[in-house]
A and B are shown apart, each in its own frame.
Chain A
Amino acid sequence: MRERPPGSGSPADGRKSRGGLVVGLIALVVLLALPVLGLAEPNPPEGYVAIPKETGGMPWWGWPLVLLVVCFVLGIVAVLGGVGGGVLFVPIVGGFFPFHLDFVRGAGLLVALAGALAAGPGLLRSGMANLRLAMPLALIASAAAIVGAMMGLALPTNVVQTALGLTILGIVVLMWMAKKSEFPEVRQADRLSTALHINGIYFDAGSRQEIDWKVHRTPQGLLMFIAIGIMAGMFGLGAGWANVPVLNLLMGAPLKVSVATSKFMLSIVDTSAAWVYINQGAVLAMITVPSLIGIMLGSLVGVRLLKVAKASMVRKIVIIMLTLAGSRALLKGLGIWN
């Protein structure tokens, strides 16, 4: 491991990224102000028959506005936790917002996708996400996600919710009991990963060291990603909650590489599942777009925090988030907390 000279970031890069963020925040403020200013006047289409309103006292723009703010926060914590925003988005929005679960699941996949797209370029350029590690696993998972999405749209919702809760809580237990996960010991790379040249080096800003890494148990990892892909599509979620443990605990990739590669992989895996939902009409712009905007802006902030965040802290965030999301899904699936 070698020391790396400090000050690698260019001031121009920083100004550019801050500029982009400012533009995004201005867009956010404009969006928030529109309904308040009364500028959004709807025009009913011809032949359209309105039915009585059931807004429960909330104006039509109220829920989308709350959704935007909630998703901005979710975008930040999702990047730090290495999970798709969808894993938090679906139980929270599905549980506390008045939208049907079909639209929440469709939006959840697009939320996870958008967060991954926003974070992906930075993670790839920094070397924390690894394309060679992601590509074989994403191929398996994205194909399985199509099957999962079709199954998820056919199964009863409470069955899907219960299975999701149990799965996430199982992963929490696995991560909680694991003793080595920040820099797992991989004595020898397996044949498959050696043949595919799946290895890398990245600069760890926390320890200020270059970390060489390789992986083992690649065939087992590929098998696991079949299950992950099916579950991702079935539950209408991102798959970071499962990607990270498999990459880190099973295959032995360092935690930060696992978190970053997992986040990037969501941009591939969730694309295939999202298209199934889009094509089934399970996407509503008024729910999806505020969610996407919120999550993408939050992800841009999260990526900057990830570069300096300590791996142990990231692990704790992952465990806390998964515990909350898993408990919520399980209780809802069992009809205890609806």
Chain B
Amino acid sequence: MKYKDTLLNGTEGLFNPDSLTPMQKLALRFVVVGILYYGFAVIEGMIMRIYQIEPIPIFNSEHYFSMLTAHPLVGIFGSSYSIVFGAFLFLVPFFMKKPLWSIKLGNWSFILVASGTFIFWFSDFLTHFAPLYTLYWPLPADFTQFNPLAGAIFILGIAIVMVGTLFFVFNIFKTIAYTPEGHEKVSGRAMLASATGFSWAESIFRKKSKRRENLVSLPVAAVARGTVDTLLNALIITFTGVLILVYMVAAIMGYNLENTAVDALLYKNWFWWGLDLIADGLVLIFVAGTWYILATMISGKELYMARIARLALWVELVVSWTVWSHHLLSDQAQPGFLKIASGELVTAFELITQGLAFFITLITLWSARPLKMTNPLKFLLGGLLGFGLAVPAGIIQADIGLNRILHNTQWIIGPHVHVAILVGLTMTLYSAIYLLLPILTNGAKLYSQKLANFHFWAHLIGGIGMGAFMGMAGLKGMLRRTIYYEGEYKIYMIFAGICGALLLFAFLAFLYNIIMTVGLKGVIGIFTPSKLNTKELLPESNK
């Protein structure tokens, strides 16, 4: 087949978008947009990497900090949320053997998350509104530094993403609870209690013989419990957005509201409680759930210690509600008992819950030995390694003594955040993409295994390397969220930049490989309405 034919129609012309069900199209739309926004985040990240080596004159500091504001939000909402939402809107019905409650609502989630992300990114690009994702009070309401109209548009974009998120949450819970036509009637309340873990918690107090069986499978329970945190987080961010918006609208109308009316420390506690529902809640729960799904699908075996895994997911949910204070260990007015109980001890439980997920996944894979080193398996191992490195790095900084000399250094954002997100989370998502690709595309064939191998090694080495060099600079005193003009940490930043470039090349290789797999016509075809009028997940030919 000629190159041009492959570029237009995909490898061997095997991908036909007309054969896709509405559900397949919905999942693929989320994935395609998630990959594109990942590209946005990688390019912004690379520009900032260059700026850390040498503050280049084409960007001023305002532009730099606006990129620093948009970069994590595009990465989390535009990319990770999109891919996760697409995957779970497909997988929950897949494991429950019933259709999604509403494909229409799913498409609205897609439209709102994609458009909301573009609005806040583009607003930031034009106006340089830069309070960072932390939004420490009263910075977002400091109109001597920022234009209130710019901020209002930015917050509007975030709010649109949150509405899309709430639609996703509603759709997931309705799908778990509802009984489709022709199916035996089930109690929606009992299904939700089982999925979220309440019936399990209640059964602890029952005799073993009287305990109820789990109504939903472990993967669905994992998705449901992560979705609880997704809901709480969306509510916190929405409330905070409304609060900031009140100040912005007042400023636009010529009134100057007193920003001391909001207690900065209380706000910081509130906001970190909400943010940690992402960082220490839904990410860890969704990732553990995804590891279990991938391990059982790759190995074809039952999950090892499934009951313990279910317990660990429940513990992780409770931990995620009580862990936020590790972000306030350097706040001297924060009560000491919160620093020790929530900041140190509860945080240490993440080592236990994530460690359990790590070993349960490895042992499940081992039970099927020998396995072929497929793309899903190698990326899954990469994802496990990422969290194996990043979680202990987080536990180290969540220590009253060490936080005094690590807080806001590059250590936090390198070995912990970037290794967790880029290596741990992203490689887990890549594993899921490689695994689901033939299912979602009705048998499309990957264009190049060599490119997939390059993607794997360049991403793994780039991600770990970048985190390592950032961490070394952090231990030498380099701060995050600032600019160095005198080349103080240049050598570390050059190596981090080289590793960042590896990540960029890995992404380009992956993008090219996927485009050549499905073809440009195929990519466009994903966004046209399905010709199949069915609520089924897969067409008859792919069942």
Task: Say whether A and B bind each other.
Answer: no
